C-alpha cells in the first residue's frame, strides 16, 4: 500500500474519531429529541418535589404538574419518568441530558430564556405578597417599606423585588437557600416570618394547608408558566404546544386545574361546637357500621368514629381534590385493594378504610405498645406508609427512638425540607399534616369517650 494511501486512511480515521468525539460531547445523553423519546418509549421529566408540582400522598403520586406530565406522556404514547434534582439544579439537569424537559411551574422570564427554550404559556399567574391573616399593617406595596421579605434566591421573585428596590422601595430581601416557597408560606402562617412572595397558583393551593395566611396583593404583572426544553428541541416544543391546545379544547386542562385549585373542602381546624352538634345529628346514622368494622379488627369504635369525623365530618359524599371519596376518604387504589366498588356507600367506605388501617397497623408489629402503634398507623393513613418509614430513618440518623411517637412527630415535619427528603426513599411530604391529623383525631376521640360515659 502506498504512503499516500496510508495517509488518506489515517486522515479518515482521525476525522472519524473527531466526529464520534464531537457527537458525544455535543449531544447530551438521551438528547431529548422527539424521535429519541419515542424510540426509547419514555420521557424523563424534571420536576420539583412539592405540593404544587409532584409528591406522594397516601402512596400515590400526584401534583398539578405531575398530572399534566402524565397526560403528556400518554399523548406521546410513552412512559413517564420523573427526576427531582432540586430547583437550583433543574436547568443544569436539562442541558446535561439527565432529563428531556422541565415541568415544574416555571415562569417564563428573559433570564430563563437564555437557559432553555420554552413552550407557549399554559397558565397565567401573578406574584403575590403573603402575610398572616391577622396582619393589618400591609395592604399595598408602599406598606412593604422597611419590611423583610423572605424568598428563595434565583427566582422571578428576586428579580421583581430588585426592580421594586431600584424604583425606590426600601425593602430588605432575605434569602433562604434551597427552601421551597411553601415552606416560607408555612413560616408566615406560624408567624416565624412576616412576609413572603408566591405565585398566585402556589398561594391558592397552600391556603388550604395554611388557612392562617392571607394573600394580600400582587406585585407583578401577569406572567405565564411554561415547560422548558433544551435549545433547538423544536419538534418536542411544538408537540408540547399541540398537547396544551388539545387539552384546553377538550376540557382536560380545566379538570386538572379544578382538582388542585378550586374544588376543595377545607377541614383544617378543630371546631368543637360543630363536632358536638354532628355527634348528635350525623354519627347515629353510621354508628353501627363503624362499630362492626372496628370490632372485626379489634379496634375501639370510638377511635374509628373520631377518624371518620376527621376524614369527612360524617359526610358520605365528601370529596377531596386528591381524588379520595366517602366517609373514610378512600383512594381508588385502596378501594380495589380492599375489594369494594363504591366508595360513596357508607358501609363499603368504612369497611375499606378500617381494613386498610388494620393492614397498616400490623405492618408496625415491631412497635410493642398498641397505642403508639395506632398513632403510627393513623399517621400512615394520612400521609402514606412510606413517608412514615422515611421519618423513622430520620429519627435513627438523629439518635431519636424510631418507635416513639414523640420522636416521629418531630421527624415527620422535616420531610418538608430538601436537606432531609432528598436522602429518603419517598421524597417530599407535607409532614406537619399527619402530626396535626393524629392530634385532632385523638382530641375527637377523647370527646367521644367522654360523651359515651354521659
**The domain over range 31-115+227-261 is classified in CATH as 3.40.190.10:** yes
3-class SS at 174? strand
Q: Is the pLDDT of residue 30 over 70?
A: no
Do 259 and 67 touch, CB atoms closer than 8 A?
A: yes
pTM of the predicted model over 0.75: no
Q: What is the pLDDT of residues 290-302, one digit of tens each?
A: 999 999 999 999 9
Pairing of strands 42-46, 55-57: unpaired
CATH code of the region 127-221: 3.40.190.10
Q: Is the pLDDT of residue 133 over 70?
A: yes
Q: pLDDT over 70 for what percent of the chain? A: 89
Q: What is the pLDDT of residues 280-332, one digit of tens each?
A: 899 999 999 999 999 999 999 999 999 999 999 999 998 887 778 899 998 88
Dihedral over Cα of 222, 190, 417, 377: its sign: negative
Pairing of strands 172-175, 148-151: parallel
Q: CATH 1.10.530.10 region(s) of the chain?
A: 272-453
Query: How would you write 428-447 as a 3-class SS string?
Result: CCCCHHHHHHHHHHHHHHHH
Q: CATH 3.40.190.10 region(s) of the chain?
A: 31-115+227-261, 127-221
Write out the catalytic residue numbers.
311
C-alpha grid cell, residue 59: 402512596
Q: What is the mean pLDDT of residues 221-243?
A: 96
Do 84 and 71 touch, CB atoms closer than 8 A?
A: no
Cβ within 8 Å of residue 411, ≥6 positions away: 391, 392, 394, 395, 398, 400, 431
3-class SS at 359? helix
Residue 166: count other Cβ atoms within 10 Å of its Cβ.
Answer: 8
Q: What is the pLDDT of residues 68-120, one digit of tens each?
A: 999 999 999 999 999 999 888 999 999 999 999 999 999 999 999 999 999 99
Domain formed by 272-453, architecture: Orthogonal Bundle (1.10)
pLDDT of residue 268: 42
Amino acid at each position: 500500500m502506498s504512503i499516500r494511501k496510508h495517509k488518506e486512511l489515517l486522515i479518515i480515521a482521525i476525522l472519524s474519531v473527531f466526529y464520534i468525539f464531537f457527537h458525544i460531547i455535543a449531544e447530551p445523553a438521551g438528547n431529548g429529541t422527539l424521535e429519541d423519546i419515542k424510540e426509547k418509549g419514555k420521557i424523563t421529566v424534571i420536576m420539583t418535589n412539592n405540593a404544587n408540582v409532584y409528591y406522594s400522598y397516601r402512596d400515590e403520586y400526584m401534583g398539578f404538574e405531575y398530572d399534566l406530565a402524565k397526560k403528556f406522556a400518554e399523548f406521546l404514547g410513552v412512559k413517564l419518568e420523573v427526576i427531582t434534582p432540586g430547583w437550583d439544579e433543574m436547568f443544569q439537569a436539562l442541558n446535561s441530558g439527565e432529563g428531556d424537559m422541565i415541568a415544574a411551574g416555571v415562569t417564563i422570564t428573559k433570564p430563563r430564556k437564555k437557559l432553555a427554550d420554552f413552550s407557549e404559556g399554559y397558565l397565567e399567574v401573578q406574584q403575590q405578597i403573603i402575610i398572616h391573616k391577622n396582619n393589618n399593617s400591609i395592604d399595598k406595596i408602599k406598606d412593604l417599606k422597611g419590611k423583610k421579605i423572605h424568598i428563595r434566591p434565583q427566582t422571578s421573585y428576586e428579580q421583581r423585588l430588585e426592580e421594586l428596590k431600584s424604583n425606590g422601595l426600601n425593602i430588605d430581601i432575605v434569602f433562604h437557600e434551597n427552601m421551597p416557597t411553601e415552606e416560607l408560606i408555612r413560616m408566615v402562617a406560624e408567624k416565624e416570618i412576616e412576609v413572603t412572595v408566591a405565585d398566585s397558583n402556589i398561594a391558592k393551593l397552600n391556603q388550604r394547608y395554611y388557612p392562617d395566611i392571607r394573600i394580600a396583593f400582587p406585585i407583578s404583572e401577569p406572567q405565564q408558566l411554561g415547560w422548558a426544553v433544551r435549545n433547538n428541541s423544536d419538534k418536542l416544543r411544538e408537540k408540547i404546544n399541540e398537547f396544551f391546545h388539545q387539552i384546553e379544547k377538550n376540557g382536560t386542562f380545566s379538570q386538572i386545574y379544578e382538582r388542585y385549585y378550586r374544588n376543595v373542602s377545607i377541614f383544617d381546624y378543630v371546631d368543637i361546637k360543630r363536632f358536638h352538634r354532628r355527634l348528635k345529628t350525623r354519627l347515629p346514622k353510621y354508628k353501627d357500621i363503624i362499630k362492626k368494622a372496628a370490632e372485626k379488627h379489634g379496634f375501639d369504635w370510638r377511635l374509628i368514629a373520631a377518624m371518620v369525623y376527621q376524614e369527612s365530618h360524617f359526610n358520605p359524599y365528601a370529596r377531596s381534590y386528591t381524588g379520595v371519596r366517602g366517609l373514610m376518604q378512600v383512594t381508588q387504589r385502596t378501594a380495589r385493594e380492599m375489594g369494594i366498588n363504591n366508595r360513596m356507600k357508607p358501609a363499603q367506605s368504612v369497611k375499606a378504610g378500617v381494613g386498610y388501617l388494620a393492614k397498616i397497623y400490623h405492618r408496625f408489629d415491631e412497635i410493642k405498645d398498641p397505642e403508639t402503634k395506632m398513632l403510627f398507623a393513623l399517621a400512615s393513613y394520612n400521609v402514606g406508609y412510606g413517608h412514615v418509614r422515611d421519618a423513622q430513618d430520620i429519627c435513627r440518623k438523629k439518635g431519636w427512638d424510631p418507635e416513639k411517637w414523640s420522636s416521629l412527630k418531630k421527624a415527620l415535619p422535616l420531610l418538608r425540607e430538601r436537606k432531609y427528603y432528598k436522602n429518603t426513599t419517598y421524597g417530599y411530604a407535607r409532614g406537619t399534616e399527619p402530626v396535626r391529623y393524629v392530634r385532632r383525631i385523638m382530641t375527637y376521640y377523647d370527646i367521644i369517650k367522654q360523651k359515651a360515659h354521659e
